[in-house]
Structures are given as C-alpha cells and as structure tokens.
C-alpha cells in the first residue's frame, strides 16, 4: 500500500458557483468520502478555510517572520485535500477521477515519499 495526496485547488478571481452547485458539490463530496471510507482507503482529509485566513511562518532567517496571507504569489491556492492509502498510482488516479467529478474541478495526485 502507498499513500497519496489528492489536492483540490481554488483559483482566486473565479466567480463563485451558485448555491445549488455548492450544495450538489457538498453532497457529491460526502458520497465520495463515504465510498473512500468504505473501501478502507481514507486516511485523512478536509476542506480548508479561504486563503485570506492563512498565515505564513518563515524561520529560515535569523528571525522568524509571520505574515498573513498565502505563501504562493499565483492565483491558485489549496482548497482541500484527501490523504488516501491505496495499492498503486493507478488506483489513486481512479479515486482522483471520482474526486474531480465530486468537486467539479481538477485534482492533483501526489505520492508521499517512502518512509525511511
């Protein structure tokens, strides 16, 4: 088994979906979560608050800095994610297809590094 991160990205400036679309997405994601758990592949996941709720901490210099906002300068931010435990990358991609349909957007699939 291997763990993968399935991440959902939001793009700033895109018009928000209608309430009906949001409600359908919540229902679809709920069904996806139920199926993922029933398959024994769910490790952890969740939706994130909007990017304007972020704080960036950087302790790489002499003095740590803390600032409000996101780390990236582009319009995309992380909106939510799942950590899944599945047999192989193909299985992770199959779950990502379902996640993409549920979220009505692209899903990035990234494997975790092997444990040392």
What does the pLDDT read at residue 35?
98
Structural domains in the chain, CATH included, are 2-110 (3.30.70.1060)
Distance CA 99, CA 6 (A): 8
Given 3-state DSSP classes, what are the helix, strand and coil percentages for the chain, each rounded to the nearest 5?
35, 35, 35
What does the pLDDT read at residue 62?
95
Q: What is the mean pLDDT of residues 70-83?
A: 84
What's the predicted TM-score (pTM) here? 0.87
What does the pLDDT read at residue 11?
78
Chain centroid to Cα 81, Å, comes to 2
Closest CA to 7 of 97, 77, 99, 80: 80
Distance CA 17, CA 115 (A): 40
What does the pLDDT read at residue 12?
74
Q: What's the DSSP call for residue 30?
A: H
What does the pLDDT read at residue 23?
95
What does the pLDDT read at residue 19?
94
Which residues does residue 111 pair with via DSSP β-bridges, in sequence order? 4
Q: What is the mean pLDDT of residues 35-58?
A: 92
- Asked whether 98 and 34 are in contact (CB, 8 A), the reply is no
């Amino acid at each position: 088994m291997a763990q993968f991160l399935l991440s959902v990205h939001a793009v700033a400036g895109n018009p928000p979906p209608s309430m009906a679309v949001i409600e359908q997405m919540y229902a679809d994601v709920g069904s996806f979560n139920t199926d993922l758990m029933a398959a024994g592949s769910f490790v952890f996941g969740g939706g994130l608050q909007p990017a304007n709720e972020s704080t960036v901490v950087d302790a790489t210099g002499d003095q740590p800095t803390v600032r409000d906002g996101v780390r990236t300068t582009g319009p995309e931010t992380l909106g939510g994610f799942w950590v899944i435990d599945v047999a192989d990358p193909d299985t992770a991609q199959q779950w990502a297809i379902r996640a993409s349909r549920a979220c009505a957007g692209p899903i990035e699939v990234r494997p975790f590094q092997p444990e040392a």
